[in-house]
Amino acid sequence: MKFYNWVIKYRLPLSIVLIIIGVVTNIYASFWPAFPAYLIGAVLIFGHFFIGPMRLIQEHMENGDVDGAVRVLDSIKYPNLLYKPIRSAYYTLKGQLAMMNQDFDTAESNMKKGLALGSPMQDAKGASLLQMGMIALQKGNLKQGEAYIRQALREGLPDADNAAAAYLQMCSIMMNKREFRAAKDFFRKAKAQKSNNPEIVKQVKEVEKYISRIPG
């Protein structure tokens, strides 16, 4: 696995070395002995520009190494050459990282690009829409935030944590709109997800303290 990651990281210089070896072999021998070096070099170049180092980014994200993920993303100089689903993931990750840095305008721009490209997984689309809703709410656009979160719930979310977060946000929006019956309904749905995320569990307990006292 480490060797594979090393190849991904250095495949462009490796491809150049292999093509040079192929040219030298071609000059001093013939084409066919040089062909394997040409072929492997071409495959590595293709992988570098059309697939990119997304596997390395995933590893950094799983390890909580945000700076490492940013460095790998910044190493992609020509994102428009990436295969379409991978390009979608690239912009989505850029949006997520920008959101973590509270750069909501950049986050929104990149998330929109990712959504426009589509996603091979339906629940990934739902998660992206939920994040777009969170961004809109952070920017004070409650109407747009509600629209995105409702769409995220319709598309489907990947796990109980995301679903609970979406229902809690809808509960909060309904409270602000003084639609108390709807707020209670969304709270029940959030609680029913039985999320184990500590932050969500804390939010559920806080809302539960006062929601039973409101009318509706």
DSSP string of 54-121, one letter each residue = HHHHHHHHHTT-HHHHHHHHHT-S-GGGS-HHHHHHHHHHHHHHHHHTT-HHHHHHHHHHHHHH--SS
pLDDT in tens, the chain (216 residues): 688 888 899 999 999 999 999 999 999 999 999 999 999 999 999 999 999 998 888 788 778 888 888 899 999 999 999 999 999 999 998 998 898 888 999 999 999 999 998 876 666 889 999 999 999 999 999 999 999 999 999 999 989 999 999 999 999 999 999 999 999 999 999 999 999 999 999 999 999 888 888 876
pTM: 0.83
User: What are the structural domain ranges in the chain?
Assistant: 2-157, 159-216
The CATH number that domain 2-157 falls under is 1.25.40.10
